[in-house]
Copies of this chain bind each other. A is one copy, B any other.
Amino acid sequence: MPTTRIVIVGGGFGGLHAAKALSNEAVDVTLIDRKNHHTFQPLLYQVALALLSPGEIASSLRHILRASRNVQIILGEAVGFDIAARQVTLSDGTALEYEYLIVAAGARHAYFGHDEWERDAPGLKTIEDAVEIRSRLLLAFEAAEREAHFTGGRAPLSFAVIGGGPTGVELAGAIADLSRRALAKDFKSIDTTQARVRLYEGASRILGAYSEDSSRKAARQLEQLGVEVCTDSLVRAVEPGRIQVRDEWIVTDVTIWATGVAPSPLAKALGVATDRSGRVLIEQDLSVPGHRELFVIGDMAALIDANGKPVPGLAAAALQQGQHAARNILSDVQGRSREPFRYVDRGSMATIGHHRAVAEFGRWHLSGIPAWLLWSVVHVFLLIGFRNRLAVMLQWIWAYVTRKGSSPLITEFQRTEKNVLK
């Protein structure tokens, strides 16, 4: 009996957990990703701040799925779909046939129609983004030290983070920590503790998805770290070395973009109905209307779930959708009926600098050190693979005990992946 052929596009939280849920079942699974690794996105900001190394928050997909005998992994880039013929086209022209397709290609940052801003204000979605931001931050300190060494002085460094969501809050807090604590003794010609760190949010409060209470506490904790929290401050332009906030131009050494979400271009390539922001509209079983064999999940999809609430663009939601799509496919194969998706909110957390955080679990709100401890435990256990878990935990304990901070590296890497694959 030929087994059912399932293709999954994307090895993020949605795609990986779909593959895991289909693991060693009587189906034939092919997972396609442009990278050979799964990235634990919630800790990317720690790589950007040189607190963790890339290998500590990423695992090779083959390694994670090595025990899944029915899962094949193809390193490649999906570029198009023929939904009628049930085929996925890769960038090298080869085509993969499927009986079921799960598309989970995630999202990038949206620059409000100004993609040219990305060069001067990179976002944080991949390991490469994190290494790029790390390099910009550390080189800003190096350039200032050099200038001060040769000229005898230099204006304090200026860092801007645009977007007051969890990523922006975590970045701003960690940059303040870096300049006020971790690097304070490393530079001799400049005083890194004088660096200005500004967090810009267009709305009237940061962490808009959290309660007003948590917003206020987060803002206070950021200010204690030395971050200037600027709300009602829409950024209107980004240029090399400066940004425009309302009518004012602010000089910046490094600007980071942490707002706006645009689904992967594959959402458009599917040629099905989307919402205004380009996310694919899906049914409660997570399939595309009229295409029971085609599932779209995670940040690429828009859904009011069976609880009547919009599913948020979070790793946890993508993970649950991946598992659910897999279960619905197995239901088809095994002759059972599909179930509607219900997002289970297990709470949300954002860290603020070295040992502060805010956390919300329904009506239960935490902040400060208790929230940070909880955050640490949860994230260590969520990380994939025991080796990573152990390494991250030891590193955190070590950093916490010694308060020494890390030894930040700037490395310069060649773009070879594409060339070699051709």
Q: Out of B30, B53, B417, which one reaches A410, CB within 8 Å?
A: B417
Chain A stretch 108-140: residues in CB contact (< 8 A) with chain B:
127-128, 131-132, 135-136, 138-140
Q: Is A346 positioned at the interface, with any CB of B under 8 Å from its CB?
A: no
Q: Quick one: copies of this chain in the complex?
A: 2
User: Which residues of B are found within 8 Å of A409, using beta-carbon distances?
Assistant: 36-37, 54-55, 58-60, 127
Where the two chains meet, the residues of A that have a C-beta atom closer than 8 Å to any C-beta of B are: 30, 35-37, 53-56, 58-60, 62-64, 66, 69, 72-76, 94, 127-128, 131-132, 135-136, 138-140, 142-143, 145-146, 149-150, 183, 185-189, 385, 387-388, 390-391, 394-395, 398, 404, 406-418, 420-421
User: Which residues of B are found within 8 Å of A186, using beta-carbon distances?
Assistant: 60, 62-63, 66
Contact check, A188 vs B128: say whether CB atoms are below 8 A apart: no
- Distance, CA A189 to CA B69, complexed state (A): 11
Contact check, A94 vs B62: say whether CB atoms are below 8 A apart: no
Q: Which B residue's beta carbon lies closest to that of A416?
A: B135
- Distance, CA A411 to CA B69, complexed state (A): 26
Smallest beta-carbon distance A371→chain B, Å: 27
User: A62-B186, A72-B189, A149-B72 known; A416 and B420 CB under 8 Å?
Assistant: no
- Distance, CA A143 to CA B62, complexed state (A): 14
Q: Which B residue's beta carbon lies closest to that of A415?
A: B412
User: A139-B421, A143-B420, A391-B391 known; A411 and B185 CB under 8 Å?
Assistant: no
Q: Out of B37, B131, B407, which one reaches A387, CB within 8 Å?
A: B407
